[in-house]
A and B are shown apart, each in its own frame.
Chain A
Amino acid sequence: MNRASRSHALPALRLAWKHLRHHRAQSIILVVCIALSLFLPVAVRLLTFYYDQVLTERADATPLVIGAAGNRFDLVLKSIYFSSPYDRNIRKSDEEALRKKDFGRIIPLHLRHQAQAMQASEDAPTALIGTSPAYYAFRNLKPASGRLPTLLGEAVLGSAAAVRFGVGVGDSILSTPKAIYDLEKSFQLKLQVVGILQEGQLADNRSVFTTVKTAWVMDGYYHGHEGGSDADAHVRSTGKAVYQEITDANRDQFHAHAGTDQLPLTAMILVPHGDSADARNVNLILATTHVNVDLADTHQAIAPSEVISELMHRIFAIRKFFDAHAILVGLATCLFLFLVFSLSFRIRKREFETLYKMGISKKTIRALLGWEVSLILIAAIVLASGCLGVLMLFQPFFLRWIGV
């Protein structure tokens, strides 16, 4: 007889592995069930954490947003995260009025349009923001290539938008028409890409920026047509061709038919001067009363951090339900596993009895069962960790997917 003394753990592990491998479909189902029940609650927490981080970071960096009275969540989400076009307007004259108060830097935002690639695509269009050079300085956005837009018809793309559209400096993109059948209201303008921005915050990376005047061209307030600076408001219906692209040759022919004071803006960002008590006071007054100075009751001034804080508070309240749900799912999974394993062991009782009759120790048989459960759990943890790794790796994609 060839005798030696060795551990029962390794042979039991090999046998457990062979059992799981032989019943691979059942094993995979078990692993996936456990992995999902581990992954989902952690993923929800992770995404809400990122969501909170991304939203809060940008909101905290934006002292005040001023826009038309209405839903404050709508104003904040659309004017600082560019979640979708915003049609509630204030006027250019509001900007001037506020500028005279000298509370701080005023950054105009025109958020009524979207941009798309030149070639037809099923991709959703991206936000096209009309703003001033002060915006780039405020967000610390610098061109990675090319330059910032200064002339009518020029645009600069966020890094993600450039990748998505597959364009570079010198290429063109199109604005998305707001009303296809009414060119008086808005028409599709070909924009020249003069720069690609360095990577910044998510909202900027995926957006396209142009000048406010170019946005007004898309609105139809500014236009250029054959025959120069004719002040005829119905110029399109008179049959004169309207330029669909602004070039060096026709740029001078673009003109407005009304004073720019009355032209629309969507919102303004107010960056108070310095960090003085007065500046903070202005900030506080505007934010807490929602009444802006000299801009009547038709406007609202909001500290985005407060709105986002409230929003996140609601999200976290909702997350409690997810947490409770996750606990229940976890509990159900544990019961399910207990049932599956106990049924499996009961079915295999005879197998274990045979092993015992042959002389295999109960310790080895217990090790075999322990390994089977452990291997399933380890595989599930590895799978769940892998999924979390992918989630973290593609976090911007998932955040975009959930609408951040």
Chain B
Amino acid sequence: MEMIDIRGLEFRYGSALSDSQFRLRIPELRIQRREKVAVIGPSGSGKTTLIYLVAGILVPRLGSIVVNGQSITALSEKQRRRRRLEEVGFVFQEFELLEYLTAKENITLPNDLSETLVFNSETQARFDQIVSDCGLAELLHRYPDQLSQGEKQRVALCRALLNDPPLFIADEPTGNLDSKTTTQIMELLVDLVTRNDQTLLMVTHDPSLLPYFDRVIDFSDFLEEDP
């Protein structure tokens, strides 16, 4: 069964009056549940646009995107946002931790700010488990500027995994890490995603990471630029 089913998708940046426009066309793309997929391609080929479309941050002009059985294009902005909060775990290249929150507060931030998610005993058990898995138990009281790059990304991983989302999206999560830390983070990420039966969709520029994935999608194939 598919986690992501994209058909006849067309997305365009820029107005009709601008000199150049970016256009992303994906005739068909299916990603199975528990599949680990890497998205590669040159800069500007639409990799990040794809994950934003799948997450419901952007909406396509044409075509349909069905994620976890739910058509993204049929949802309201509020429904897409809620779905993102509850069903999508996001990890970014720059970690995007809030500097004024401790590691623990950063991990629980979506629950703290959400109108719907609560932090109950089940969440607490899950929190303890992933914090332990990520080796952060002793670092929870630290602020981001007191953490190494690898520790920051592990905090970001915990934040994305806390609510057990079926879909895990990562936008170049190892882009700012050295090779040793990259290996550690990738092993941790793949291990956690596999153990939690999650689907992984990850954008990367690093060919050395491709062996971690079940499938690789090259976005050079989808790139189209108007004259």
Contacts and interface: CB of A to CB of B under 8 A. Distances in A.
Contact of B112 (A4, A15, A361): A15
A320 interface: no
A1 B115 contact: no
Interface of B: 55, 57, 78, 81-86, 88, 90, 92, 96, 98-101, 105, 109-110, 112-120, 122-123, 143, 163-164
B114 A359 contact: yes
Contacts of B100: 18-19, 21-23
A19 B101 CA distance: 8
Contacts of B117: 1-4
Given A3-B118, A8-B113, A357 B55 contact: yes
Contacts of A6: 115-116, 118
7 contacts: A3-B118, A4-B116, A8-B115, A23-B100, A355-B109, A356-B81, A359-B86
B120 A359 contact: no
Given A19-B100, A359-B110, A360-B110, A3 B116 contact: yes
A320 B104 CA distance: 55
Interface in A336-394: 350-351, 354-361, 364
A354 B116 contact: no
Contacts of B163: 1
Nearest to A3: B116
Interface residues of A, number: 28
A11 interface: yes
Contacts of B118: 2-4, 6
Contacts of A11: 112-114
B110 A5 contact: no
A14 interface: yes
Contacts of B113: 8, 11-12, 15, 355, 360, 364
A7 interface: yes
Interface in A58-73: none
A401 B155 CA distance: 58
Contacts of B88: 359
Given A3-B116, A8-B113, A361 B78 contact: yes
A25 B153 CA distance: 28
B122 A2 contact: yes
